[in-house]
Amino acid sequence: MDLSKFVEQSNGKFVTVEFIKKDGSLRKINGRLGVTSPLKGGKSTLDANQYITIYSMADQGYRAINKDTIQSVSIEGVLMVKKGGK
């Protein structure tokens, strides 16, 4: 299964995603998809085909993850790693 699809099918569960940032560094985010309580209106300008928007619990804010740079995903103890990654 594609890692981005695995994240998108998390159904509001906590997800840990490890990905490569634009600057080339590795980042790990623990958060959830579908969090709406902190929204103040407005519309996302991100391409939903390219990015996943996740609410980071540590940062208390929304973060965008490029689907192509996801290295690993963990949901409820199930770890999936990109082939050739890590």
Number of other CB atoms surrounding residue 48 within 10 Å: 10
Between 3.40.640.10, 1.10.3720.10, 3.30.160.20, 2.30.30.520, what CATH number should domain 3-81 receive?
Answer: 2.30.30.520
Cβ proximity of 67 and 4 under 8 Å? yes
pTM given for the model: 0.85
- Which is nearest to 23 in space by CA: 59, 69, 63? 69
In tens, the pLDDT along 28-44 reads 999 999 888 877 777 77
Give the mean model confidence (pLDDT) for residues 58-68: 94
